[in-house]
């Protein structure tokens, strides 16, 4: 469902140029569960933002479900994003003026869903993330972990084909983190392709496919396993 060929991205601020991704090649089949690890600043969020059509790239090609992304208008990109992609941001990005319920409703309203259709989907996702009693709270009235769960609920509520999660368990204790991972697994079992960026190596090792990004370069453990490479 996703093909990247020699993708590159640099950031320039003043005289400093940072090559955030370099010659990135990746093929991902629909239904895969991919974890991505790598040191801070290695390009993980950049990779996820490009994958989620939030950020652009400088060179190379990116095909999402066969469509060449660089050829699409901003309007078409926004539509694709809203139809296919759920994004859990590293820094939540909840809307402070809106309640938990309304925050989760936003992506559905974008898609043109009616209020009652929204209500059913939102109630379901509130229950699966144990947030029912918080539906009228504003983000500032929630703990960090609860805010994170709202961000996850918002990404899941539209049942996206592709779910991108940037450190979704970073602010959670190990029990809550495990619950979130189980929610992601269930979503994946129902057919959603999941890309999970995490610092949790134990978690990454358990996933069927694993990538590491180091200095904007990709190490694909699938390829490594095939060439009988062993981790030390």
Ligand X SMILES: Nc1ncnc2c1ncn2[C@@H]1O[C@H](COP(=O)(O)OP(=O)(O)OP(=O)(O)O)[C@@H](O)[C@H]1O
From the list 171, 199, 196, the residue with the least C-alpha distance to 86 is: 196
Cβ atoms of 44 and 211 closer than 8 Å? no
Which run of H or of E encompasses 185? helix 174-189
Q: Does 116 bind ligand X (CB under 6 A)?
A: no
State the binding string over 80-109 for Mg ion (x if CB under 5 A, else -): ----------x-------------------
Contact segment (CB under 5 A) with Mg ion among 45-53, 129-137, 153-161, 207-215 equals 45-53
Under the binding rule (CB under 6 A), the answer on residue 44 touching ligand X is: yes
Q: How far is the CB of 66 from Mg ion (least distance, A)?
A: 28
Does residue number 120 form part of the binding site for ligand X (CB under 6 A)? no
Instruction: Report d(CA 132, CA 32) in Å as an integer.
Output: 30
Q: How far is CA 84 from CA 145, 162, 171, in A?
A: 26, 6, 26
56 sits near ligand X (criterion: CB under 6 A): no
**Site for Mg ion contains 45 (CB under 5 A):** yes
- Smallest distance, Å, CB 155 to ligand X? 17
Choose the stretch contacting Mg ion; rule: CB under 5 A; options: 9-17, 18-26, 36-44, 171-179.
36-44
Give min distance, CB of 90 to ligand X, in A.
Answer: 6
- How many residues lie near ligand X (CB under 6 A)? 13
Is 45 or 146 the residue whose CB approaches ligand X more closely? Answer: 45
CB of 18 or CB of 136, closer to ligand X: 18
Cβ-based neighbours of 116, under 8 Å, separated by 6 or more: none
**Chosen residue from 35, 37, 45, 147 binding ligand X by CB under 6 A:** 45
Smallest gap from Cβ 91 to ligand X, in A, equals 10
Decide if 163 contacts 184 (C-beta within 8 A). yes
Find the binder of ligand X among 4, 7, 28, 42 (CB under 6 A).
42
- φ, ψ of residue 8 in degrees (nearest 5): -135, 150
Strands 217-220 and 67-68: unpaired
Residues in contact with 205: Cβ distance below 8 Å, sequence separation at least 6, in sequence order: none
Report whether 37 contacts 210 (CB < 8 A).
yes
Q: Pick from ligand X, Mg ion, none: which does 42 bind, CB < 5 to 8 A by kind?
A: ligand X
For residue 77, how many C-alpha atoms fall within 13 Å in the half-sphere facing its CB?
Answer: 17
Contacting residues toward Mg ion, per CB under 5 A: 44-45, 90
Residues that bind ligand X (CB under 6 A): 11, 13, 18, 20, 38, 40-46, 90
């Amino acid at each position: 469902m996703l093909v990247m060929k020699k993708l590159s991205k640099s950031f320039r601020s003043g005289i400093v140029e940072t090559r955030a991704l370099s010659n990135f090649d990746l093929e991902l089949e629909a239904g895969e569960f991919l974890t991505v690890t790598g040191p801070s600043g290695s390009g993980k969020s950049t990779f996820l933002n490009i994958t989620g059509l939030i950020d652009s790239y400088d060179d190379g090609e990116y095909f999402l479900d066969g469509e060449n992304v660089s050829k699409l208008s901003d309007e078409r990109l926004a539509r694709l994003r809203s139809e296919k992609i759920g994004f859990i941001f590293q820094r939540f990005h909840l809307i402070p003026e809106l309640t938990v319920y309304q925050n989760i409703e936003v992506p559905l309203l974008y898609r043109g869903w009616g209020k009652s259709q929204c209500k059913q989907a939102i109630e379901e996702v509130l229950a699966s993330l144990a947030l029912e009693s918080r539906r009228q709270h504003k983000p500032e009235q929630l703990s960090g972990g609860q805010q994170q769960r709202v961000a996850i609920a918002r990404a899941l509520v539209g049942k996206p084909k592709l779910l991108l999660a940037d450190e979704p368990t970073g602010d959670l204790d190990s029990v809550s983190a495990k619950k979130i991972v189980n929610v992601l697994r269930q979503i994946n079992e129902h057919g959603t392709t999941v890309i999970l960026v995490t610092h949790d190596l134990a978690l990454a090792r358990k996933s069927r496919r694993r990538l590491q990004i180091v200095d904007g370069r990709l190490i694909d453990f699938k390829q490594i396993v095939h060439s009988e490479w062993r981790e030390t």
